[in-house]
Amino acid sequence: VINIAGEKLLDQELLNAVYSGPFVTDARRHFSKNGCPAYKMGADFLNGNAIEQAYLATILKWAARHEGVESIDKYMALHQFDLNANKL
């Protein structure tokens, strides 16, 4: 389900929709909810809001840079069908 309230989607939400698959599903479980593992470990160190996908966008930026990929969307395309997001 995408945007049932009719609100403007954030950039990361749009990317999640475009590159939906097991990788995004698992990544969101770890990085996109209050109380998720990333929130528990990094809330004091990360800017933004987990629910608004800020943590996920940050970790994807870091992972893309680490792999020498120029953008989050290219990184997500490369990993769209990975079975999980454990490497994040």
| Helix 72-79, helix 11-18: angle, nearest 10 | 30
Q: pTM score, two decimals?
A: 0.83
> For 55-80, how does the pLDDT look when each residue is reduced to its tens digit (9 = 90+)?
899 999 999 999 999 999 999 999 99
Domain coordinates of the chain in residue numbers?
12-79
Structural element, H or E, at residue 37: helix 37-42
Check pLDDT > 60 for residue 33.
yes
